[in-house]
Amino acid sequence: MEPTPQHVAAYFALMEAGALLQQLVEQQLRRDGDLSYIQFRVLAQLAEAPEQSLRMTDLADGVVYSRSGLTYQADRLEQGGLIARSPSPDDERSVTVTMTEAGREALERVLPGHIDLVAKELFGPLKEPDVTAMADVLTRVRDHLRTVPRGPATRRRPAAN
Amino acid sequence: MEPTPQHVAAYFALMEAGALLQQLVEQQLRRDGDLSYIQFRVLAQLAEAPEQSLRMTDLADGVVYSRSGLTYQADRLEQGGLIARSPSPDDERSVTVTMTEAGREALERVLPGHIDLVAKELFGPLKEPDVTAMADVLTRVRDHLRTVPRGPATRRRPAAN
DNA sequence: TATTGTTATACTCTATAACTATA
DNA sequence: TATAGTTATAGAGTATAACAATA
C-alpha cells in the first residue's frame, strides 16, 4: 500500500494545521481569559446545557477525558469561581457542575477574539467553496475517527478482562 | 462577523479530527516502537538529512520546539541509543545529532503500522477527489498558519526589547 | 457488583532563566 | 554582543490505582 504524494501531503497538512491552529487558539484563550482550551470547551458545553449544568461524567464524555483529568480541571475552574459543584438531586453519586455568572462572563470575554482569530487565521486564506469542501471532508473523517477505539481516555470498559 | 454554520462545522471538524488522529498516531508509535510523535518526527527528519545528521537548532526549527524542550527529547533519544550527539566540525558551539543504526531500525519498525493506520483511519472514509481537495485546502491553511507568529516556541527573537 | 467521583502518586512534557562556551 | 546548547527548576497536564459512597 504505497501512499501517493497527495495522501502524504494531506496527512501532513492535517497534522500540522491542526497543531498550529490549536497553539494559536490556546494562546488567544490564555491571553484574553486565562483559560486553557479544555477549560474553554467545558464552559462552552455548560453554556449550551439546560440550566448551564451537566454531570461530571457527561462533561468527561464530551471533552474526551479521563475521570481524574476532568476532576483536575474542575478543581481549577472551581478555584477560579467559573463553575460550582453540587450534589445531584436524582443520583447521590453524581456531582452536578454548574457554570457561574463569572464563568459566563469569562466565556463571553473570550469569544469575540476567538471568532476573530478563526475567521482570520483559518478562513482567511480560503474562499467559500473551500470552506464547504473542508467541512464536508473533515466531518466525515472526524465521524469515522470517533468510532475508532482510542487509548485510556475512551476506554470506559476495558475490552477483555 | 457572524460565522456561518459551515464555518463552525469546518472549524470544529478540523480541531477534533486533528486531535483524534494525533491520539491514534501517538498510540501506534508508542505501541510499535516506544516513540512519542515528537521523537518520531525527529528521527524522520534525520532520516532525510544528508548523513542522517542535523544540528540541534535545525531540528528545533523543524519540530517547532523550544531549545530546552529539544534538549530534553534529545536526552531521551540518546539514552535509548537512537541518536548520538557529537561536536560540530565547522562551528564549535553547535552539536551535531546523528541517527544511529538502532534509530533507523526503530523508525523502520514503526513505519509500516504508521502508514497502515493513516490509510485506514484517515483515508478510509474518503474517495480520491476528497483527498485531493483536503490536501489542497489544508496545505493553504497550513502555509498561512506557519506565517502567523506563535508563542514561545517560535519566538526566536522577542519582538521588542 | 457496577458506577460516580476523588485522591495520591508518579511521570511526561514544556517554559524560563541562568549559565558556559564559542563566533 | 550574539548565538548554540545545557541545566535547574517550576508548573501544567495526564494516567493509574486505590478508595468511598451510592445504585
Encode pLDDT of A38-92 as tens digits: 999 999 999 999 999 999 999 998 887 789 999 999 999 999 999 999 999 999 9
pLDDT of residue B64: 78
Strand order in A53-55's β-sheet? A53-55, A95-99, A83-87
Does a structural domain hold residue A95? Answer: yes
Chain B CB contacts of A139 below 8 Å = 9, 13
Closest Cβ opposite residue A138 in set B17, B131, B150: B17
User: Is the pLDDT confidence value at A161 over 80?
Assistant: no
Does a structural domain hold residue A139? Answer: no
pLDDT of residue B158: 35
Does a structural domain hold residue A155? Answer: no
What are residue A87's DSSP bridge partners? A95
Q: Do A107 and B87 touch, CB atoms closer than 8 A?
A: no
Does a structural domain hold residue B39? Answer: yes
Q: Is the dihedral of CA A146, A148, A151, A152 positive or negative?
A: positive
Does a structural domain hold residue B107? Answer: yes
Q: What one-letter code names the amino acid at A119?
A: A
**CA–CA gap between residue B87 and residue B57 (Å, rounded):** 13
CATH value at residue A113: 1.10.10.10
> Which stretches in chain B have pLDDT values below 50?
155-161
Does a structural domain hold residue A145? Answer: no
User: Is the pLDDT confidence value at A148 over 60?
Assistant: yes
Helix pair A67-79, A56-63: axis angle to 10 deg: 110
Residue of B145, B146, B155 best to disrupt the A interface, most CBs of A under 10 A: B145
Domain count, chain B: 1
Does a structural domain hold residue A146? Answer: no
C-alpha cell at B7: 464555518
Nearest chain A alpha carbon to B24? A150
Strand C nucleotides within 7 Å of a protein CB: 3-8, 12-17, 21-23
Does a structural domain hold residue B33? Answer: yes
For residue A150, what pLDDT band results from cuts at 50, 70 and 90? confident
Q: Do B92 and B14 touch, CB atoms closer than 8 A?
A: no
The parent domain of residue B64 ranges over 17-147
Q: Do A84 and A97 touch, CB atoms closer than 8 A?
A: yes
Q: What percent of chain A has pLDDT over 70?
A: 93
Yes or no, beta carbons of B1 and A123 under 8 Å apart: no
Task: Output residues with Cβ under 7 Å from nucleic strand C.
Answer: A 55-57, 60, 67-68, 70-72, 74-75, 85, 88, 91, 93-95, 157; B 36, 38, 65-69, 72-73, 76, 91-93, 151-153
Beta carbons within 10 angstroms of residue B51's beta carbon: 9
